[in-house]
Amino acid sequence: MIITYEDIKKNETVNTYIRQADENLKSLGFTEHSFAHVTKVATTAGTILTELGYDEQQIELAKIAGYMHDIGNVVNRIDHAQSGAVMAFRILDKIGVADEDIATIVAAIGNHDESTAYPVNPVAAALIIADKSDVRETRVRSTADIAADIHDRVNYAVKKQDLNIDKAKKQITLSLEIDTNISRVMEYFQIFLGRMNLCEKAARKLGCEFKLVINNQEMV
């Protein structure tokens, strides 16, 4: 069976897991991981492969992986990438998706968390970059604890985010505008350095160089 991104977006099982996973993370004090996040990740992952000239099938699989990548949080935040991969396998297998497509999607989902991740295929690489680049003030649920919570503070400080894919130059550039009155640039690196290192590996898998620009200054 050929599965599409639109099919998955309409799948109530997937959507139920996304909603509940976000509720679980809300209880734990995490930033937003609901439909705004997964839709942005799906769209960005698809755009990355589109801009780099990958075929429609790979693009569609990247969008599907992006949309489903955080469903494992319904089980537990710890090892949520692996839990999510197993859950995605069950859902996709049940609706008759081709084994090869399932393998690509679950490998991407299982390799998106920086503690265990590796860009094992182009879909995984696109998912990693799309997920780790989604830093923005609207992911913060409440501004009440900005001073105490570094993750909220860093996200809230990001006033503008742009991901540029330049196929000719073989460069993927994440540009951020950070309000340093809210969070110092060093705080961004304090929590995101591992993610940026992973983005470098993912970009190399796609035959590109990864660059991070903060307030018009190239960082990596």
From first to last of its 220 residues, the chain has per-residue pLDDT tens of 788 999 999 999 999 999 999 999 999 999 999 999 999 999 999 999 999 999 999 999 999 999 999 999 999 999 999 999 999 999 999 999 999 999 999 999 999 999 899 999 999 999 999 999 999 999 999 887 788 889 899 999 999 999 999 999 999 999 999 999 999 999 999 989 999 999 999 999 999 999 999 999 999 7
Can you give the length of the chain in residues? 220
pTM greater than 0.75 (yes/no) = yes
For 58-157, where are the E strands, in sequence order?
none
**Residue position matching structure tokens 């903060």:** 214
pLDDT (0 to 100) of residue 2: 84
pLDDT (0 to 100) of residue 7: 97
Q: Which of 175, 162, 166 is nearest to 213 (CA)?
A: 175
The helix/strand/coil state of 108 is helix
pLDDT (0 to 100) of residue 220: 73
pLDDT (0 to 100) of residue 145: 77
Distance of CA 136 to the CA centre of its chain: 13
pLDDT (0 to 100) of residue 56: 97
pLDDT (0 to 100) of residue 146: 86
C-beta of residue 95 within 8 angstroms of C-beta of residue 1: yes
- Looking at the DSSP bridge assignments, the partners of residue 178 are 158
Q: Which of 120, 2, 118 is nearest to 60 (CA)?
A: 2
